[in-house]
Amino acid sequence: MNQRPHLVIEHRELLARATPRPDAAAKLAATPFPSDRQHPQALHGAILGSPHPHARILAIDTGAARALPGVHAVLTAADVPGQGSYGLRHIDRPVLCADKVRCVGDPVAIVAADTPAQAQAALAAIRVDYEVLATVDDPVCALAEDAAPVHAGGNLLHAMTHDRGDLAAAEAACAHVVEAEYRSPRQMHAYLETEGGIVEHDGNGGLIVCFGCQNPERDRQVLAAILGLHPDTVRVVGTPIGGSYGGKDELTIQPLAALLALHTGRPVRLHLSRSESVDLGVKRHPMQIRLRTGCDAAGRLRFMVADILADTGAYATHGPEVLDAAVEHVSGPYQYDAVSLRGRLAYTNNGIAGAFRGFGAVQVQFALERQMDVLAARAGLDPLAFRALNLAAPDAPGPLGQQVLPFDGPARALDVLRTHPLWTAPRSHTDGRYHYGTGLALVHRSDGFGKGGPNTARIVLGLAADGKIELRTGFTEMGQNLVGAIHALAASALGCAEDDVRPVIGDTAHTPDSGPTAASRATAVLHRAMQQASTDWKQRITVAGARLLGVAADSLVPAAGGLRDHHGTLCISYPALAAALAPAARPLLTLVIAAEETPSDVPAAHYVFGASAAIARVRVDAWTGQTRVEHIALLAALGPVVSAQGFLGQMEGGALMGQGMATIEDLPTHSGRYQARNLDAYFIPTLADAPAMEIIAVENLPDDDPVGPRGAGEISVNVTAPAIANAIAAATGFAVRSLPVKPDDILDYLENTP
């Protein structure tokens, strides 16, 4: 299929390359996460959230609460000194609700007290009069003309369409047409550390905000606007996160803790319980996806019509970007004569949906990959062969017709898995009580943000006073092994040892604005930064050493521990060099990383893509309807592997998250209320549920590729969920159109199928 051989790293080699994480010991030995941080003078914050999903606020009486012992502050919207609302593309989320609440848990008042019990007593003493409004709990009903408006502008938050080609002619050429509606669930991040942290005073009139986040600089700017402070007086420390998966990509309770600290003049600690986190935190967007797809008698795809409806809940957060990603990815890495793609995003009172690993693409990729299997069967083709037959050329335009960077990852992924034992073995059989099935999925995944997004980054590289080579970035450590990746990338590009490098991350007092850590972009951006810095850094540090030693600069080489001559003899160590140089003479580089954006004039479209294919083998119990995922082989075509440990972690963790989406995870609402508020009723896969996993990397990139490694943070969840859905269908014959696949639905099908 490809002229150049595949550069494959098998699982065992990835394991052999993996090294312990540099930050593991510190995390195990100390109290690493922001909510662990203690201060002897800290007050305890608490939030009074709305008990109603939709209501008008008529009056708030805080008099009794303010009079209670130990209470230092009781604040409402009237106490916000600056900007009263915040958001990303849409500024629609109130810091504290003033006139209306739009979901259960919407903050109405906040309290700071000496003890948690006193804070809770104060919350109980606050009186709020509500006028309960009609609950909008269905996105279809939300867009009806007579629906109660969640926001004054109506319930259609965002829409996107893309049409190209002659749809009628393309459909006329089809021998097989498949039309179906698919549904994807609301999913919860279930991170280790629920939203929490502490806000302290810096002694100079400023605030230090220590909460897990993905973009400290953006948070600093927004918090300053809310607090009515100059941004220079707000410092945000946002790392490590303690789990994110998208859920801490934007502000949640940081503004509330900061307000309390500002008003009391004391440090304030605020940490959500799991049930509060469920109410107030963001979730994965549930989607309804209707697809109509056709191929000709030879199995060549001709057209696709897609209609996507997403429920964003009470506030926009990342909803518009999620919908844009869904529309961009719904047609997959395949070639069509014509497409008509439509997406709509509706406000409801069903909590809040926002960024989540897979970010709008995984929902539609489940639907698309089910559709591909059904069409392949109609055309009489093997599912893998059908996909390979219909791949767009590596240099073809992107899904929205935009110019993209040439990439042959999808073809390589299929080609490597074509001979995998899981695929060449029989793909379905029944052994008495159990049905076994094997399914395949192929996805491509955009890298970074779309056109017009925050794609640029600033990185600083410098020789510190103690001789460490510091790489300073605003990116945050969220469990993806960013620290390990920085050590590896810097050492490789700068010629030093990994121990010579010190990452400085996620602290606005010490790091530049690198943009969001989201969109699986941190490692890829840092790779480009180190490639950009390599020559300049080596020149600067050898010139500095040569002047000090009185030798020619080209006689020195940056190496492990310091500068060496061409025979490998150490001439001066990095600590000795730093000590001998005046601070202003130490090498320092500020790198500006340009945006990787399509030159096409297509809003929100992406330029760079990675790819992944997966094979899943499942066992379905005909007595209980339960699905056991037994084996997953996952191939990621993302370019060179930077950190084997981080790569394996992202692939295995994301695969298990995809398994949860496919088999057990769902958070339904009833009349705007979540049906679970803890992990005793919302279930996620554990180690006991984990299948045998085989992770394979394909490192090939097209000749002259200027970008290098693609992001590895999300694509494994994207590919695993549809692969498992296809495996369940192969095992049972059940037409999977809704995730998670429920045991009752399988039992009903098996009992009613001859």
The pTM of the whole model exceeds 0.95:
yes
Do both 445 and 460 map to the same domain?
Answer: no
Residue that terminates a domain, selected from 241, 256, 280: 280
Residues of the chain with pLDDT under 70: 1-3
Considering its fold, how many domains does the chain have in total?
3
Determine how β-strand 268-271 pairs with β-strand 196-201.
antiparallel
Q: Token pair of 309, please?
A: 């409806």
**What is the predicted pLDDT for the residue at 673?**
98
Q: Tell me: do 468 and 513 sit in the same domain.
A: yes
Contact partners, residue 575, CB within 8 Å, separation at least 6 = 466, 467
CA distances from 343 to 163, 230, 327, 330 (A): 12, 39, 6, 10
Q: Do 204 and 62 fall within a single domain? A: yes
| CA dihedral for 422, 423, 425, 426, sign (positive or negative) | positive
Query: What's the gap between Cα 22 and its chain centre?
Result: 23
Q: In this structure, is residue 295 part of a structural domain?
A: no
- 571 sits in which H/E element: strand 570-573
If asked whether residues 441 and 558 sit together in one domain, one would say no
pLDDT at 1: 44
In a domain, 8, yes or no: no
Q: What pLDDT sits at residue 753?
A: 87
pLDDT of residue 479: 87
717 and 744 inside one domain: yes
pLDDT for position 257: 98
CATH code (residue 60): 3.90.1170.50
How far apart are the C-alpha atoms of 343 and 326, rounded to whole Å?
8
Which pLDDT belongs to residue 35? 87
Residue 10 counted as domain residue: no
Task: Find the CATH number of the domain harbouring 491.
Answer: 3.30.365.10
Q: Which among 559, 593, 627 is the end of a domain? A: 593
Of 264, 280, 296, the last residue of a domain is 280
CA distances to 138, 316, 317, 629 from 312, rounded to whole Å, are: 11, 6, 8, 30
- Count how many Cα atoms sit within 13 Å of the Cα of residue 206 in the half-sphere of its side chain: 15
Same domain membership, residue 649 and residue 629: yes
- Name the residue range of residue 654's domain: 405-449+605-666+679-753
**Bond preceding residue 94 cis, omega within 30 of 0:** no
Q: Is 355 inside a domain boundary?
A: no
**Do 474 and 445 have their domain in common?**
no
746: left (phi over 0), alpha (psi -120 to 50) or beta: alpha
